[in-house]
Amino acid sequence: METVFRVVFVYFFVWACLRVLGKRTLSEMSPFEFTTIMMFPQLFSRALTRQDYSLTNGVIGAATLFTLVFATAVLSYRSRRVARVLAARPTVLVQDGALVTAHLDQERIRPEEIFSTMRKVGLERLAQVKWAILEADGKISLVPADSAGLRRVD
């Protein structure tokens, strides 16, 4: 029964920390922040399996990681310089209907991914795309050359 109590404690501890981070932070988490949060299972695994009878080490490690994630989010919000260092920059993949192959190669994006995104919004030809931009969150945004006949994609 002790294991059940430990798991319940860890669950509510992580839940409370995620609530402190806020909705926007969770929905737009950077790959670095996501990777950091993925370290939590390792921090608590010894405590949950009773190899370490104290939850203190896991809680201290997790609280430290949550504090770092929160601090980097706040610093990125308040400082443009910090945001440039921590966040990815958008990359132009298509410019005026032409693929920018150097950027496609740099970001390891296949042209098929752009064509798939085009189909989702109702574009048939590359010439219909003024800009295709790989956003910092990993999604491809399209700016059509002519906005007629486009469908919204959520």
Domain boundaries, the chain: 2-86, 91-144
Q: Could you tell me the pTM of the whole model?
A: 0.57
Identify the three-state secondary structure at position 96: coil
- pLDDT tens string 41-64: 777 787 777 676 677 878 888 888
Is residue 99 a contact partner of residue 71, using CB atoms and an 8 Å limit?
Answer: no
Is residue 22 a contact partner of residue 54, using CB atoms and an 8 Å limit?
Answer: no
DSSP-derived letter for residue 128 is: G
High-pLDDT (> 90) share of the chain, %: 32
- pLDDT tens string 61-108: 888 888 887 888 888 889 999 888 877 789 999 999 999 999 999 999
Identify the three-state secondary structure at position 33: helix
Whether the per-residue pLDDT at 22 is higher than 50: the answer is yes
pLDDT computed for residue 147 by the predictor:
55
Q: Fold for domain 91-144? A: CRO Repressor (3.30.240)
